Amino acid sequence: MENREITIEELQIGDEILTLTQQPKYLKVLEIPRKSKKGFSWRTDVDRYVSVRCRVNADITYRQANRYDYKTRSYVNKTIEDKHYNIKAPEENSPIEKFDLNFKKIWLVKREI
């Protein structure tokens, strides 16, 4: 059963999902979500999950910028990484990142059986 909303407990390895947030992402799950040893201090009736490793389709660009360093009291050149997430299926060479899926709406797009 694909194309439906699921919960974080139902995720399996190989699932392709959409996270429905302000910046939607198309993710391929690489590990089963596991419960955190520490729960939420402000909400005890909800389970907390550790961030999940996922493959994501993103365009990464680098740019140079000057930032003020308060220790040396001078400007220092820094490289800033800009990410733009594409809503396309990730490929085998796409980057792997960890994503927090707690309190996110998750839409199952494709499930490997």
pLDDT in tens, 3-41: 899 999 999 999 999 998 888 999 999 999 998 888 777
Strand 25-29 to strand 16-20: parallel, antiparallel, or no bridges (unpaired)? antiparallel
pLDDT tens digits for 49-106? 999 999 999 999 999 999 999 999 999 999 999 999 999 999 999 999 999 999 899 9
**pTM across the whole model:** 0.80
What domains sit in the chain, N to C, each tagged with a CATH number? 4-40+47-56+86-110 (2.30.30)
Of 84, 12, 37, give the one whose Cα is nearest residue 2: 12
